[in-house]
Amino acid sequence: MQFFKWNNQPTDGHRQTDARRERMAMTAEAAADRARRERDAYASLGSLETAIFMADKARSLSGEALVDVLALADLLHRDGQYRRALGVLRHGDAMDGVFRARLLEARCLGALKAHEECLEALWDTEEEAREAAMGADPREAATMYLLRGRAYEALENKIKAFRSYKAALEHDTMCFEAFDAILSTHKLNDADERALIENLPATGETAWVIDLYAVMGSARKVQSVFDSATVQDMDGGRAGEPIGSPSSGEMEHAKVRTAVDALRSNGDVKIARARRLYEKGEYSSCYNILRRQFDAEPARLKGLPLYFATMVELGKKNDLYLLAHSLVNEYPEKAVTWFAIGCYYMCTRQFDAARKYFNKSTTIDPLFVQGWIGYGHAFAAQDESDQAMAAYRTATRLFPGTHVPVLSIGMEYQRTNNSTLALQFFSKAYEICDSDPLLHNEIGVLMYWQGDYNAAVQSFETALSLVPTPISSRWEAMVVNLAQALRKLGRFSEAIAYFEKALSIAPHTASTHASLAFAYHVKSKCTEPMALGLAVEHYHKALSLRPDDTFSQHHLELALIDQSAITIPRHNQVELDTTFPSADAQSPAPGGGIFNFAHSETPQSFKGTPTFGAKTPYSAKSAMDESVDMDESVDME
């Protein structure tokens, strides 16, 4: 007996039949539209595998439509499937004349390091590329020149690479990658960089971008509305306020804020401002800005070398240790990670280990300029001049637009008493950047050493004019150097004024007290005998700060002898017949005192040069003829 199920519910067979009919009824165009929507949705969510699957089906459903082919190739490029992307683009002849297809093909070839084929894809000759760019969208033309620049740079054709990057900016000022490529290679000196920025095409809508480029650039003499911001503006306003959060006043005027006001709290602007504070020696302010910025954006790797250099200057070795360890865990393949470890060992004065890690950073990225400069500083800190200069020369060859390695070579030559070569490298550094106060100080030291005191005074005055006011302790040695040069010229009142200014900056510096005492001592012999008491006073202060200062001890004795000759009243000489043995000590020079101007202009202990950095003009050997030991950490950005 057969039973039947009487109901209206469809069976599984009915369902399959209905689905088959729907698939047959859906057109290929409708299916392609649905596949495109799914492709775009999954691509925006980062699910590239699903997006590529849908893009491949959309291409087939649309019959190899241009838009679907480009979308599939772009997703394959993003996923790192460069060979497959090339196969998709080169399937058929429809892609040959499509500008975007050529750009995408060039990107894939560049990723595969086929740089010559990349240039062929981007029109082989510069004339052909220029003609193709004339009829293209400005963004597409800028991208084409950007890719050509990268290919030329990989082929070590620096001139054509720079020319291509510059053409990219001329077609579209917004092409930041081209500007960043010019900056990161350090090919331009300060004057050329300023000229490049000033000549960029600007409209009312792009003027803010040029101001951003100006403040983010390496040139020191720059005109930018962002550079005029105060430290408080750059530090986010009130203490403890999160970066980027507007203050109450900004909230009230949010509707009328200009682009400049809105961008002052941007991370790139803050880092650029911090770099300019570093160049001026304001390390504490620089550190505060960077610390707040990297607390909010710890993964922003671009400004980290500046952050590390600032911590080295401030001696924050614990912060360096913790940050370096976190970078090793997260970015072991990045050069900046091993640069951080090198900075930590520089801060702890373990220079052998610092050299090891600076060298590793340059091995990972041969174009990491901070690594090369740090590598040279680590050698220089141990007086290994040959190896230090080798590292500096490599940095000079790779980065001809930065003056720091050239200046460092000059410092090494000056430290080894090779004044001729030192002057040549200082002159070369001056051609690259004429606004660095440290450079003018070193030129002044060299002139002082050679006996040209007028030129030394001029250089020291120029250096101080470039230093921000009020003068911080970073630049106190420049004030002392200027005072020493003025004393050599016999301008004692001016020298004393600058010594006192240096003491107002760093009141507990024994060498400055000794210098001021000696200036008063000389002045008392030449023009003003009453200054001798002030000389004695400052000799005592110098010895209270550094009891083992033999220079101050010796000259204090002579000053007291001179003072006794003035203050003790004259009396009749009484000859006494004593039986004591005669002492071996010799009496002072005829006339009393230490100054025998018939033999030399100044005392022998003052033949040397003023120094800049950790050492002072006065050593424990009471000799002033040491070569100059320059700042050990010259601008590691």
pLDDT of residue 628: 30
pLDDT of residue 21: 53
CB contact at 8 A, 482 and 437? no
Instruction: Please indicate, yes or no, if residue 332 is contained in any of the structural domains.
Output: yes
Which residue's entry shows tokens 């009824």?
Answer: 25
CB contact at 8 A, 129 and 167? no
Domain coverage including residue 362:
301-400
Determine the Cα–Cα distance for residues 557 and 561; give it in Å rounded to an integer: 6
pLDDT of residue 22: 56
pLDDT of residue 586: 35
DSSP character at residue 594: S
Instruction: Please indicate, yes or no, if residue 323 is contained in any of the structural domains.
Output: yes
Instruction: State how many domains the chain has.
Output: 1
pLDDT of residue 10: 54
Backbone phi, psi, residue 607, to 5°? -80, -20
DSSP character at residue 570: P
Instruction: Please indicate, yes or no, if residue 340 is contained in any of the structural domains.
Output: yes
Among the listed residues 610, 608, 627, 605, the one whose alpha carbon sits nearest the alpha carbon of residue 521? 605
Instruction: Please indicate, yes or no, if residue 334 is contained in any of the structural domains.
Output: yes
pLDDT of residue 570: 53
Q: Which residues of the chain have pLDDT under 50?
A: 1-6, 229-254, 571, 573-637
Determine the Cα–Cα distance for residues 15 and 249; give it in Å rounded to an integer: 65
Instruction: Please indicate, yes or no, if residue 351 is contained in any of the structural domains.
Output: yes
Instruction: Please indicate, yes or no, if residue 99 is contained in any of the structural domains.
Output: no
Determine the Cα–Cα distance for residues 586 and 596; give it in Å rounded to an integer: 16
pLDDT of residue 133: 87
The residue type of 427 is S
Could you tell me where the DSSP H helices lie in 266-334?
267-279, 283-296, 304-314, 317-330
pLDDT of residue 380: 92
Domain with residue 318: its CATH number is: 1.25.40.10
Determine the Cα–Cα distance for residues 177 and 165; give it in Å rounded to an integer: 9
Instruction: Please indicate, yes or no, if residue 387 is contained in any of the structural domains.
Output: yes
Instruction: Please indicate, yes or no, if residue 331 is contained in any of the structural domains.
Output: yes
Among the listed residues 393, 383, 456, the one whose alpha carbon sits nearest the alpha carbon of residue 419? 456
